Amino acid sequence: MNKNKILHLVKSALIKEINDNISHLLVYFKDVDHDEIDEIIARYVINNNEFTTVLKYRNYDWIIVNQDKIKLYPAYIHAVGGKKWGYINEKGKYCIKPTFNHDEEFKDELAIVQVDNLFGVINDKGEYIVNPIYENIEPFHENRAIVTLNNEQFIINERGEILSVKGYPYLGNFHDSRAVVKDKVNKEYLFGYLDSAGEVVIPIKYKEANDFNNHKAVVKATKYQLIDLEGNILQEYPYAYVGNYGEGRLVIKIQDKCGYINETGEVIINPQYQICHAYKDDYAIVNQEQELYNTYGLIDLEGKELFKPIYNHLIPLGEKRYAVGLAKNKNKPYLGILYAIGNEMGEFLTDFKYEQIKPYYNHLASATKNNKTFFIDLNGEIIESLPILSGVGSLQFMDHIIQANIDHELHYIDDEGQIINYPNYIIPINDSLDVVTKKYKPNKQYLVYYPKIEKIGIHRSVNKKLKQLSRVKEVPTHIQYEYYGDFTVLNLLNNLLQIKIEGYKYQYGAAHGFSYQEYAHIDIETGIFYQLFDLFKEQCDYHLMLTNWVIEHKRDKHTLIDEMYIIKEDPLFFVDTNHLHIVFKPYEVAPYSEGYITFSIPFSSIMNCIDINNDFWKSFHN
């Protein structure tokens, strides 16, 4: 196609939308949606305003498409070092290469990404709008995001510019152009509000402060108050607790029972519940404790109980639907819940039969039952014409394709169930070595992804031990816990392959689960699994040596280590060329909340104990 024909084609297409008063027309070809077919890009000026139009070849004709309709979706590959995230188009092709440690969905052409342990923001071309320098970035709200730098929080705009004049211990997301701020005033932490420019617009003087909702917020000075966007007091309340403002109703508490008042303080619903949630869409979820177990119900604006507070769970699904849950075992509700679909009138549309239900979107919701995941309609019926997948997870339409998160693996399919994008299960290490991801799922509660080494000459005992370390074992059909295991190929250092194996077990009814971690250090030439003691000279008391090093350097860690602490057993560990990294389990040297604690010890500081002639050292040093 010559230049004159292209110009004529572009002008013919544009004239349908605009007049002929076009100047500075620039036309070129570019594959903007990465489908390996060039589009025609037209840039032009009309009345001193610049415009861009994209023409795409469809059904033997060139038609105008909007560039902002070209969607990108987060996806990942399995690689050395863990998952690497990027973005694919609707055909499953990577438009932004998988180089990030994690990424979020695009919103308004921006996405939050993680590089190592830091966060930044990219545009839909993969260019950094905000360099990855922050410890955390909250999703954008009202064109503002809260970022954390050196344990202080700041406000940035969509260009990455810091707006707040200083850092704060806490900043909330923006609502009605206001963000809750926490700061120390006269040795006491108090709350106030910042505006979108990062300025203090309502003084930092409150003991409590909530997000604005419909231009009003609940705060506590000496008493609870309802204030407007300027901080003017609209109403003051005499109750011990006031909160959860929504739709003209506020939650109050009197003698450990909660109810609702209106904005003027008039009691609308007498205190009678244990927990009262904010009203939304004219309804509120309430919670009544019975014999140590929570029971949920749904009330309207007048307090009428549409679902009596007798159910073990109640989840708003949107589109005037609720997931109402009953325990499989009435006396042991922690063993699992089955859900029915109910509507806003308190009517049940299905039996109690679903194990999970996600919120509705465009009249569809994802649900699971009997190790199957599928879509249901507004009546709670399975849509047989859409994909039904084996495994537990969720499905969601993303424009014209379906995002499937099944058994902890994210992939994409079309509406007929055909795969568009799926993570690789083979991790190439070098030309002669691969690590293959294998799946073990004897029942819906026990799921393990474990590594299998594929290399000519590797002994089967190596893979047998990897299965054992991954806790691949016989499991009864019915168990009262959940277990999920996975692995990460850390690195290959010369002949030393290191694999990190992780798991998490949750015993039903427990306060929290317990994590599991193990490291495999494999000589790929001999098949030997090395242990920590293999690094050291026989005459060296390496436990004492490591203890002294940890005590000396504990100042930067949140540990319970004191001068009397002694390492008695080999800790978990991994190595790189220059460091020994020792890893302590939760509770071992720190509170459970701190998780696993790692100390990185330079080999140069402990070389007097290292046996440089042993096979372990030689396996990762030339």
- What confidence score (pLDDT) does residue 18 get? 46
Query: Which domain CATH number covers 494?
Result: 3.30.565.40
**Band of the pLDDT at 19, cuts 50, 70, 90?**
very low
Read off the CATH number of the domain in which 419 is found: 2.40.10
582 domain residue, yes or no? yes
Instruction: State the pLDDT confidence band at 68, using cuts at 50, 70 and 90.
Output: very low
Domain final residue pick, 35, 54, 69: 69
Q: Is residue 415, in this structure, part of any structural domain at all?
A: yes
Decide if 113 is inside a domain.
Answer: no
CA 463 to chain centre: 32
Determine the pLDDT at residue 4.
65
Distance CA 141, CA 124 (A): 19
| Domain edge (last residue) among 375, 391, 423 | 423
Q: Does residue 145 lie in a domain region?
A: no
Best CA proximity match to 425, nearest among 79, 23, 43, 122 = 79
Angstrom distance (rounded) from CA 327 to CA 438 = 34
CA distance 340 to 298: 14
Quick one: 460 and 519 in the same domain?
A: yes
What is the spatial distance between Cα 462 and Cα 499, in angstroms, rounded to a whole number?
12
- What DSSP string describes 370-393? TTEEEEE-TTS-B-TTS--EESSE
Note the pLDDT tens digit of each residue in 535-553: 999 999 999 999 888 888 8
In-domain check, residue 14: yes
Q: Is residue 481 part of a domain?
A: yes
Q: What is the pLDDT of residues 223-279, one digit of tens each?
A: 999 999 999 999 999 999 999 999 999 999 999 899 999 999 999 999 999 999 999
Q: What does the alpha-carbon distance between residue 324 and residue 314 come to, in Å, rounded to a whole number?
A: 5
Residues 469, 410 within the same domain: no
125 within a domain of the structure (yes/no): no
- For the CA atoms of 69, 70, 71, 76, the dihedral, rounded to the nearest 10 degrees, stands at 180
Same domain? For 375 and 455 the reply is: no
Number of domains the chain is built from: 5
Is 325 a residue whose pLDDT tops 90? yes
User: Taking 90 as the threshold, does the pLDDT of residue 439 lie above it?
Assistant: yes
Give 509's pLDDT tier (boundaries 50, 70, 90). Answer: confident
Residue 433 DSSP SS3: strand
541 and 519 in a common domain: no
Q: Are both 433 and 418 inside the same structural domain?
A: no
Domain boundaries, position 516: 426-524
- The 10s digit of each residue's pLDDT in 127-169 is 999 999 999 999 999 999 999 999 999 999 999 999 988 999 9
Domain assignment present for residue 394? The answer is yes
State which of 397, 423, 449 marks the end of a domain.
Answer: 423
Q: Does pLDDT of 212 surpass 90?
A: yes
Closest CA to 386 of 396, 399, 375: 375
Residues 554 and 602 in one domain: yes
| 260 and 296 inside one domain | yes
Average pLDDT, the chain: 91
Question: How much is the average pLDDT of 330-341?
Answer: 91
More confident residue, 558 or 307: 307
Highest mean pLDDT among 55-64, 329-338, 450-459, 519-528: 519-528
Residues 430, 411 share a domain: no
pLDDT digits (tens, 9 = 90+) for 82-105: 999 999 998 899 989 999 999 899
**What is the dihedral angle through the alpha carbons of 505, 507, 512, 515, rounded to the nearest 10 degrees?**
-20
Question: pLDDT at position 67, please?
Answer: 45
